[in-house]
Structure 1
Amino acid sequence: MDKNEKRMLMDKVLRELEDTRNTETSVVKKLAQLESENINLGDRLLEKKLPEIFNLVDDALSATIDLQSVYTAARDKFVKDNKLDEIHEEQ
């Protein structure tokens, strides 16, 4: 794999991380909505389990955001170190 192909694959990974982040954000919102609806319902099972699931997904979201940030910096460094931004601008 040449350097430009690697940059393109890194870009794809970043797009997929963004998609993952958006999906996890949606799941967090849905779980919060369910917790809110359970205030009126008062179901003990939901009251016990929803916060546990919410915390797991929220932790995954935080980890995804952190990875996305670190990987973006790594991708940007790779592009700069290999002067691929100049190649990309010429195309």
Structure 2
Amino acid sequence: MDKVQRELEDLKNSQTSILKKVSQIAAHNITLGVDLLDSKLPDLEEQVNATLSTASDLSQAFAEHRTKFFSDNNLAATVDPTA
């Protein structure tokens, strides 16, 4: 379970990085003024942001599931579910 949680966090971090890259491209395009980028980047940014939101929600929900699993199975004393 811990491995899945780490991978979900990694997914969140990757999506955050992609969102930053899209924003950087949009910022560079302010000086370039390429219409293609002006028309397509907002859609891309919206899609990546939606994926980031989904990944964040899933990570949080899985963390709650994991904590409940450890508690329900009396594993809290042997394994730290927040690690």
TM-score normalised by structure 2 residue count? 0.92
Runs of 4+ in 1 over 2 A off after TM superposition: none
2:2 — aligned with what? Answer: 11
Instruction: Report the counterpart of residue 71 of structure 1 in structure 2.
Output: 62
Q: Highest Rg: 1 or 2?
A: 1
Root mean square deviation of aligned Cα: 1.0
Higher helix fraction (1 or 2)? 1
One-letter code aligned to 1:49: K
SS in 1 for 2:78: helix
Gapped regions of structure 2 (runs ≥ 5): none
Q: Distance in 2 between matches of 1:19 and 1:45?
A: 31
The answer for unaligned runs of 5 or more in structure 1 is 1-9
The aligned length equals 80
Residue of structure 2 equivalent to 1:33: 24
Q: TM-score, normalised by structure 1?
A: 0.84
